[in-house]
Chains A and B, each alone.
Chain A
Amino acid sequence: GQNIDQPTEMTATEGAIVQINCTYQTSGFNGLFWYQQHAGEAPTFLSYNVLDGLEEKGRFSSFLSRSKGYSYLLLKELQMKDSASYLCAVRDSNYQLIWGAGTKLIIKP
Chain B
Amino acid sequence: DVKVTQSSRYLVKRTGEKVFLECVQDMDHENMFWYRQDPGLGLRLIYFSYDVKMKEKGDIPEGYSVSREKKERFSLILESASTNQTSMYLCASSLTPEVTGELFFGEGSRLTVL
CA distance A97 to B100 in the complex (A): 12
For chain A, give the interface size range.
20 to 34
Using CB atoms, name the residue of chain B closest to A99. Answer: B42
For chain B, give the interface size range.
10 to 19
CA distance A93 to B80 in the complex (A): 34
Complex interface bits, A38-59 against B, C-beta within 8 A gives 1, otherwise 0: 0011111100100000000000
Complex interface bits, B36-62 against A, C-beta within 8 A gives 1, otherwise 0: 000011111100000000000000000
Query: Is the Cβ of A98 less than 8 Å from the Cβ of B103?
Result: no
Contacts of B105 in A (CB 8 A): 42-44
Query: Is the Cβ of A42 less than 8 Å from the Cβ of B42?
Result: no
Query: Is the Cβ of A42 less than 8 Å from the Cβ of B97?
Result: no
Contacts of B4 in A (CB 8 A): 42
Query: Is the Cβ of B101 less than 8 Å from the Cβ of A31?
Result: yes
CA distance A71 to B42 in the complex (A): 17
Most chain-B CB neighbours within 10 Å: which of A42, A45, A87, A101?
Answer: A42
The 4 closest A-B pairs by CB, nearest first: A99-B42, A42-B105, A99-B43, A45-B102
